[in-house]
Structure 1
Amino acid sequence: MKFVGIAGSIAEESYNRKLLTYIASKYQGVADIEILSIADVPMFDRQKDQTQGAAIQYLIHKIEAADGVILATPEHNHTLAPAMKNVIEWLSFTAHPLQDKPVLVVGASYKDQGTSRAQLSLRQILESPGVGALVMPMDEFLLANARTAFDAQGNLKDQNTVQFLTKVMQEFAKWVKVLRAMKHPEADDAWQQEDLTASHPTETTVDVPMEADDWVEQAAAKTNAVDGKTYVKLDRGLLTVDQLNLFLNSMAQELTYMDENDQFIYYNHFLDRDEMLAPRYPHQVGDPMAAVHPDRAKDHVKQVIWALRNRQSDLIKMAVPGNKINEKWIMHYYKAMRDEAGTFRGINEWVLDIWPIVADYLKRTGQALVKVPGAQADTGGSASVKDTGATSDTTDAGASASVKDAETPVNPEPDTGASASVKD
């Protein structure tokens, strides 16, 4: 998404411009945010229309091209600053770029109350006939005591303030998406836009040939990636790279990571390909998703990724074709990964055979699987992605089986001591 920001001040040292600069830097993952200058905007004069002048046209074109607008207002004498009011006069005279445009209002001030009165006044103006902006109606961000709120690098110092601002930015991004969806309803085949060729690099994309068999080695060399006994600081832990590999490779399921550019960049390589539930070759790491799936599966892959990327679902579950009750039940799980700003950062897939878990439960509890009379197998529901049509092929009819007390018990006595065994 593309946002533009306008600070309602022409002062050389503006805390509202400083706030916008911080927002543009901190929330690059939410949107590309460009800060617009209003220094050259002339004083509004109805008798001398300068709407076609360069300064006003610059603002008009930038706003029209943006998905949303962030206005940072100072507070002067319990209302918004003249510079901000002047800009809105020009943007509601003969041109109306703010009409139906999503707008977020924020503000910074020297005092304890933030810019509450200025924001209220600005909201009333923005929602008035002739302006017609769509101001986000949820949380307000009021930065008080602006003189001491930033550190020497221009970052907000108080983490509670940062967390609240993050929440506000996430809500604004949702507000923009909702309004856009209402104005331009998503087509049934919108998932076709998902690009499995990984041709839209992100800030974490490594510039080496994606389909190179030694992609991992090339990418590691290019990024000076750490390995061996070098420590990595994690969210709540400190591990060496060797420990991290041991940890991931000891997981009870196969793990795969696809980034937001639809590039396959990791799997926990603890089994040879022929022993895996979802076989993969080491040389496939680094490939675009289009290169690791057969043509017959690519539409389905697009549907799943599109649904997770666009919040149609956060978790998609599906059983593989050919599963058989009492033998195996292999499940694929796809989980959307998002950063603290709510931005999509890829998909975590895990694959496991859940039958050994079910069998162990039945053994320990003395229960059995029985067919529910009249029940129909849910042959695709577990893989459903709302209305995207992303469903699995077919699953075994045994999926309708229920864990109940067996009428003819297979295991008449619970395995009451199995949990204490350190041998079996």
Structure 2
Amino acid sequence: MSDILKLLALSGSLRNGSHNTDALLALTRLAPASVQIALGSIADLPLFNPDLEGEPLGAVVRLKSAVAQADGIILASPEYAHGISGPMKNALDWLVSGEEFPNKPTMLINTSPRAHHAQDALKEVLTTMSARIVDAAFVSIPLLGSKLDVDGILSDPYLVKALQDGLRQFCQGISSFRTS
């Protein structure tokens, strides 16, 4: 077992200037030396089709490999029409029948506290997929309408503390899963 905790962060938004992606990028910069956070991409995943699950589709293979190698997963997804973003749901659909995701410690970040429907739906999907959601690590930060980018997030003491506290709780959760 490595001393470095390897985490994979996935944003459910493909938009340039996404608050979800910016929150994850800020988190990568706030991580202590003992935590390595890789920002993965779900942009190139084809639409989920069960008939293609056995095919060596490059983007799917890369996603599954990144998930398998990670000690934990951090997800940040916007809410669209009271639901999980299409790209995030598509990524999860590609992972649902694999061996990489079950029991994987998972942290959720919500960048729009009033948008709870997607978070509720995401928790339901992740629970169905046998994720080990670390509830104490949940971070909800008010970025919607803020016009803050990564540097703006990092210059706000409240946002920095929320992200650091969430990451610390997540790392502790992963550690407790390993010892149980």
> TM-score with structure 2 length normalisation?
0.88
Aligned counterpart, 1:146: 144
Q: Percent identity?
A: 26
Higher relative contact order (Cα pairs below 8 Å, separated by 6+ residues): 2
Match of 1:16 among 20, 28, 45: 20
The residue correspondences of 1:8-407 to structure 2 (distance < 5 A) are: 8-49=12-53, 52-93=56-97, 95-109=98-112, 113=114, 115-128=115-128, 131-148=129-146, 150=148, 153-182=151-180
Aligned residue type for 1:121 = A
Aligned counterpart, 1:6: 10
Aligned counterpart, 1:382: none
Deviation at 1:27, TM superposition (A): 1.2
Instruction: State how far apart, in whole Å, the 2-side matches of 1:106 and 1:89 are.
Output: 20
- 1:3–1:28 distance in 2 versus 1, CA, 3 Å: same
More helix per residue: 2
Instruction: State how far apart, in whole Å, the 2-side matches of 1:132 and 1:138 are.
Output: 17
Instruction: State how far apart, in whole Å, the 2-side matches of 1:137 and 1:40 are.
Output: 29
**Count of equivalent residues:** 176
Q: RMSD across aligned C-alpha pairs, in angstroms?
A: 1.9
Instruction: State how far apart, in whole Å, the 2-side matches of 1:87 and 1:174 are.
Output: 26
Deviation at 1:136, TM superposition (A): 0.6
Runs of 4+ in structure 1 off by over 6 angstroms are none
Q: Deviations over 1:32-51 (max 9, x none)?
A: 00000111100011233365
Q: Deviations over 1:44-85 (max 9, x none)?
A: 112333653111110111111111110111111122111100
Aligned residue type for 2:162 = F
Aligned residue type for 1:103 = T
- 1:89–1:151 distance in 2 versus 1, CA, 3 Å: closer
Instruction: State how far apart, in whole Å, the 1-side matches of 2:26 and 2:165 are.
Output: 15
Instruction: State how far apart, in whole Å, the 2-side matches of 1:166 and 1:51 are.
Output: 39
> Are 1:150 and 1:157, in contact at CA under 8 Å, matched by a contact in 2?
no
Instruction: State how far apart, in whole Å, the 1-side matches of 2:44 and 2:154 are.
Output: 29
Q: Deviations over 1:376-405 (max 9, x none)?
A: xxxxxxxxxxxxxxxxxxxxxxxxxxxxxx
> Are 1:22 and 1:154, in contact at CA under 8 Å, matched by a contact in 2?
no
> Are 1:69 and 1:103, in contact at CA under 8 Å, matched by a contact in 2?
yes
> Are 2:13 and 2:87, in contact at CA under 8 Å, matched by a contact in 1?
yes
Instruction: State how far apart, in whole Å, the 1-side matches of 2:24 and 2:56 are.
Output: 27
Q: Deviations over 1:100-134 (max 9, x none)?
A: 1100011223xx61x42211111110011xx2110
- 1:59–1:152 distance in 2 versus 1, CA, 3 Å: closer
Instruction: State how far apart, in whole Å, the 2-side matches of 1:77 and 1:13 are.
Output: 20
Instruction: State how far apart, in whole Å, the 2-side matches of 1:116 and 1:59 are.
Output: 26
- 1:20–1:99 distance in 2 versus 1, CA, 3 Å: same
> Are 2:22 and 2:149, in contact at CA under 8 Å, matched by a contact in 1?
no
Instruction: State how far apart, in whole Å, the 1-side matches of 2:151 and 2:50 are.
Output: 42
Instruction: State how far apart, in whole Å, the 1-side matches of 2:55 and 2:31 are.
Output: 32
- 1:143–1:158 distance in 2 versus 1, CA, 3 Å: same
- 1:48–1:60 distance in 2 versus 1, CA, 3 Å: closer
SS state at 2:56 partner: coil
Aligned residue type for 2:107 = L
SS state at 1:44 partner: coil
- 1:66–1:139 distance in 2 versus 1, CA, 3 Å: closer
SS state at 2:91 partner: helix
Q: Deviations over 1:171-207 (max 9, x none)?
A: 100000111122xxxxxxxxxxxxxxxxxxxxxxxxx
Deviation at 1:143, TM superposition (A): 2.2
The runs of 5 or more residues in structure 1 that have no matched partner are: 183-424
The runs of 5 or more residues in structure 2 that have no matched partner are: none
